[in-house]
Structure 1
Amino acid sequence: MKFSLFFFDGDGASPRKNPYRLLLESAQFADENGFTAVWTPERHFHAFGGLYPNPSLTSAALATSTQHIQIRAGSLVLPLHHPVRVAEDWAVIDQLSQGRAALAVASGWTMDEFILSRDPHGSRRTVMWKSLEIIQRLWKGDAIPFEDANGRMVEAKALPRPLQSSIPIWITSQSTETFIEAGRTGAHVLTSLLGGDVNDVAGKIRKYRDAWDKQGHEKPKGTVSLMVHTFLGADEEEVKRDIREPFGAYLKTHYGLLEQLAKGMGLDVSLDDFSDDDLDAILSYGIDGFIKQRSLIGTPEGCLNLVKEFAEAGVDELCCLIDFAQDDVGALGSLEYLNQLKSMC
């Protein structure tokens, strides 16, 4: 099993000194201890992940401060960007990192972020696949025609070219259909346990592998990367006690995002409709469920069996989300225990 570090929840709303300390110092630790990659996301207009509006910028910083780990976007929301800009930015990152760039692409989530797009939220999946095809052609040196603001067609060739002959691509996937399409196109997969468990993911992985084989892609097969909340220590009960309050605060923020998503789907859902007791019950259920079945929270020894379950399900890489607790000191201290778990696998 491969292990990477994953960032998604950095609070961008609370002013503090050196908000990127955890990212930079943990990336250095990962680089020195044989981790596979560091992932940074794209998030907009919400405290949840607010430190990370642009993975191109964070990846460029990591490219020049590390030597070994792969530098990945997790994920770049393609419908929010012109494909030429993506091709140029990530070619620069690939050159700066000496061929260590990779990116997961996504179609987007909430409607609000589509103020950055020329395309409607409803067409986001089609736009993502079309943009990805264009970006990969630009990296190969193809000239692609685009229409400017005056209706004039202009052929564009993106420069510089990436150092790698092909920058690795992950497709951010939750639905079975997206897993299958990723297999057909020969892309890797980035997924999570949002609303499911290891058995749900195992079924999707099987369909991904089947689609890969049917399309006749070259071996080895694509990588399945699973994002998992991670916080490890020496004593399981102490870890769970320490993490419970910050994890509850994190879930409250997460539920706020789910409320936005529901409204984007035309559903009239509001957390205001729930009593405080109801919300506490939901949070308690969410915390207990994540800790027991969907996270690496505890001790290295206590989490080893779950890692084995992930491997048996077909997961190749665990992307360890470490910034959800909003505790830089605690998260940095947890890395030593995560490294112990990695050495056991």
Structure 2
Amino acid sequence: MKFSLFYFDGDGSRPRADSYRLLIDSARFADANGLEALWAPERHFHAFGGLYPNPAMIHAALAMVTERIQLRSGSVVLPLHHPVRVAEDWAMVDNLSGGRAGIAIASGWTMDEFVLSREPHGSRRSLMWRSYDQLVKLLAGEAVSFEDAEGNVVAARTLPRPLQPQIPFWVACQSTESFVEAGRRGINVLTSLLGETLDEVTPKIRAYRASLARHGHDPEAGTVSLMIHTFLGSDVDQVKADVIGPFADYLKTHYDLLQSLARGMGLDLRPEDFSGDDLDSLLRFGVEGFMNGRSLIGTPQSCRPMVDNLARAGVDEIACLIDFVQDHDLVMAGLPHLARLAADTASIRPAARAAVAV
């Protein structure tokens, strides 16, 4: 089992000299302690998450303070960008990092972010795949034809060229259809337990492996990376005490997760219908729910069964979302425990591909 760090949140609404301190310090720790990768998202117009509007720029900086760890987007929202711009940016990251770039792509989420696109929100998935095909060709050094502002066709060939012969790609997947399409195209998968349980995600991973095999790809070659909320310590009760307040505040900013918590409690209610006291009770109960089957929140020992379950589900890499706790010292103090869990589970292998690819 491989472990990586995933960044998703961070208050960008208040300028501070140390806004990226947790990012830089945890990246250095991960690099020095054998973790696999660093994932930076693309998020626009979010107070929480507002530190990460441009993953290529983030990783250009991280390339300067790390030596071996892979630097990946999580994810580039392709419909918001011209493929030439994406190819140029990530070729630069690959050069600056000595060949450590990886790109996860996504079709986008909110309507607001599509102020950056000339295409309608409803066509975002088809546009993502069209842009992906163009991006792969550009990164391979091929010319791709585009129209200029006057309608003339221009054959574009981007520079610089990446150091890697082929930059690895992931696609952000939630629906079964997206898992199957990733398998058809032979690219890696980035998924999560946001709004779903592992039992719901496992059949999708099987569908991905089956699609890889059905379309002539090696089913063992595809990587399934799963983002999961992570906060580890030496004592479960102390971990709960440390995390419950920050996690409750975090959930208040993530409507879909709140709805999922309500459903998990058997409540067919919208969170905005709750009173303040009821919402606090829901959130505190929800932290317990996340700790019991949807997170790595606890100690290395208490989280070991979850790692085993993820391996049985066919997950190759656990992408540990760490910055939902907005406390630099708390998060950094937990990272040695994460490194210990990674070392203790290094020999775990995902479920046999032959068993899931038939």
Q: Distance in 2 between matches of 1:158 and 1:91?
A: 9
Give the Å deviation of 1:244. 0.2
Instruction: Quote the residue 1:70 is aligned against.
Output: 70
Report what 1:53 is aligned to. Answer: 53
Name structure 1 gaps, 5 residues minimum.
260-268
- Counterparts of 1:173-252 in structure 2, within 5 Å, are 173-218=173-218, 220-252=220-252
Q: Does 1:111 align with 2:111?
A: yes
Contact 2:296–2:303 (Cα < 8 Å) also in 1: yes
SS at match of 1:293: coil
What is aligned with 1:41? 41
2: CA distance, partners of 1:116 / 1:276: 36
Aligned-partner SS, 1:319: strand
Q: Which runs of 5 or more residues in structure 2 are unaligned?
A: 260-268, 346-358
Q: 2: distance between equivalents of 1:59 and 1:199?
A: 33
Do the aligned residues in 2 keep the contact of 1:251 with 1:286 (CA within 8 Å)? Answer: no
Q: Give, in whole Å, the separation in 2 of the partners of 1:91 and 1:16.
A: 30
Partner residue, 2:17: 17
**Structure 1, 287-296 or 87-96: larger mean CA deviation:** 287-296
2:251–2:258 CA contact under 8 A, matched in 1: no
Q: For 1:270 and 1:119, how far apart are their aligned partners in 2?
A: 32
Q: Give the AA of the match of 1:279.
A: L
Distance of aligned partners of 1:129 and 1:72 in 2 relative to their CA distance in 1, 3 Å threshold: same
CA offset digits 1:97-153 (Å, max 9, x no partner): 111100110000000000001111100000000000000001111111111111121
Q: 1:67 to 1:239 in 2, by over 3 A?
A: same
Asked if 1 retains the 8 angstrom alpha-carbon contact of 2:194 and 2:257, the reply is no
Pair 244,253 (structure 1): closer, same or farther in 2 beyond 3 Å: same
Cα deviation, 1:14-52, whole Å, max 9, x if unaligned, reads: 343311111111111111111000000000101121100
- Cα–Cα, structure 1 residues 313 and 327, in superposed 2: closer, same or farther, change >3 Å? same
Equivalent residue of 1:39, what SS?
strand
Q: Displacement, 1:258?
A: 8.0
SS at match of 2:75: strand
Matched-pair contact (CA < 8 Å) for 1:48–1:254: no
Residue 116 of structure 2 corresponds to residue 83 of structure 1: no
The one-letter code matched in structure 2 to 1:340 is R
TM-score (norm. length: structure 2):
0.91
Equivalent in the alignment of 1:287 = 287
Matching of residue 161 in structure 1 with residue 165 in structure 2: no
Distance change (3 Å), C-alpha of 1:257 and 1:60:
farther
The answer for the alignment partner of 2:99 in structure 1 is 99
**Corresponding residue number in structure 2 for 1:144:** 144
SS at 1:171 equivalent = strand
1:128 pairs with 2:128: yes
In the superposition, the TM-score normalised over structure 1's length comes to 0.94
Letter aligned with residue 311 of structure 2: A
Structural RMSD (CA): 1.6
2-structure distance, mates of 1:257, 1:212: 31
Structure 2: distance between partners of 1:321 and 1:37: 12
Specify whether residues 115 and 258 from structure 1 end up closer, same or farther in structure 2 by C-alpha distance, changes over 3 A only. farther
TM-aligned CA deviation for residue 257 of structure 1: 9.0
Q: Say if 1:92 and 1:258 are closer, same or farther in 2 by CA, change over 3 A.
A: farther
* Separation (CA, whole Å) in 2 of partners of 1:197 and 1:250: 19
Q: Rate the CA distance shift 1:34–1:50 in 2: closer, same or farther, 3 A.
A: same
Q: Which amino acid aligns with 2:129?
A: W
Tell me, in whole angstroms, the C-alpha distance in 1 between the residues paired with 2:330 and 2:277. 29
Match of 1:341 in 2: 341
Structure 1 segment 237-276 matched on structure 2, within 5 A: 237-255=237-255, 272-276=272-276
- Return the offset for 1:4: 0.3
Displacement after TM superposition at 1:56 (Å): 0.6
For residue 280 of structure 1, report the CA deviation from its aligned partner.
2.5
State the alpha-carbon separation in 1 of the partners of residues 111 and 52 from structure 2.
18
Find the aligned partners of 1:232 and 1:258 in 2 and give their Cα distance: 23
Alpha carbons 2:229, 2:322 under 8 Å: kept:
yes
| Alignment-derived partner of residue 330 in structure 1 | 330
Percent of pairs with identical residues: 59
Aligned equivalents of 1:97, 1:270: Cα separation in 2: 45
**Which amino acid in 1 is paired with 2:189?**
V
For 1:172 and 1:204, the matched residues in 2 are separated by 13
CA distance in 2, matches of 1:247, 1:127: 35
Structure 2 distance, partners of 1:72, 1:283, is 31
Contact 1:5 1:319 in 2 (8 A): yes
Q: Is the 8 A contact 2:251 2:257 kept in 1?
A: no
* Distance (Å, rounded) in 2 between the aligned partners of 1:56 and 1:279: 37
Q: Which amino acid aligns with 1:214?
A: R
Task: Name the CA distance, whole Å, in 2 between partners of 1:37 and 1:142.
Answer: 28
- Secondary structure of residue in 1 paired with 2:214: helix
Q: Which residue of 2 aligns with 1:313?
A: 313
